[in-house]
Amino acid sequence: MAHLILASSSPRRKELLQQLGLDFEIYSPDIDETVLLGETVEQYVERLARSKAQVVLNLFPEATVIAADTSLSFAGKIIGKPESKQHAFEIWMQLSGQWHDVFSGICVATATQILSQVVQTQVELQQLSHTKMEKYWATGEPIGKAGAYAIQGIAAQYIPQIRGSYSNVVGLPLYEIAQLLESVKV
């Protein structure tokens, strides 16, 4: 396979991709992540994944680029990263005792081909008391995480079940990435 680049600075995506036994480099592109008017979460994550891949491909045209973007959705709204403790609590109050969706847009791109898709996983978050929210916030883990939680960390104790890909919730659906890599003609 050609020179492989992961278009992400996420340590979680790096760790996940390493599970596939691939040799790759990392280059994190800077793109505008503003949600467009009327854009669904599916359209949003796929657009961002394709944009990240294209930026890196423009810099390294001989490479095969892997890019992804992950967001949560609840009641048709995109749930991003918490901007403050208060915002995290607002997110948890919405998600508490409910199912929500985690969507990842993924893209594998070469100079001749760009393949992308969206992967969806449903996640149940237990009913969180104010005490649990305080305790979890104090760990620092929710900062910088979509939905204000990390399933691969302390928050695992608050998630009774998921339907779909665990690696998708962490940030990179491995099965689907492997399938796209097999499909791309290098």
Q: What are the start-end ranges of the H helices in 40-165?
A: 41-59, 85-95, 130-138
Q: Render pLDDT for 4-41 as a digit per residue (tens, 0 to 9).
A: 999 999 999 999 999 999 999 999 999 999 999 999 99
Q: Render pLDDT for 141-172 as a digit per residue (tens, 0 to 9).
A: 999 898 999 999 999 999 999 999 999 999 99
Active site residues: 69
Domain range enclosing 13: 4-183
Q: Which helix H or strand E contains 15, and what residues bound it?
A: helix 11-18
Domains of the chain: total: 1
Query: What CATH number did the domain enclosing 153 receive?
Result: 3.90.950.10
Rounded Cα gap, residues 51 and 143, in angstroms: 25
Q: Is the dihedral of CA 37, 115, 169, 102 positive or negative?
A: positive
Q: Render pLDDT for 89-126 as a digit per residue (tens, 0 to 9).
A: 999 999 999 999 999 999 999 999 999 999 999 999 99
Pairing of strands 25-26, 114-124: unpaired
Q: What is the biggest distance separating any 2 CA atoms in the chain, rounded to whole angstroms?
A: 53
Q: What is the pLDDT of residue 186?
A: 53
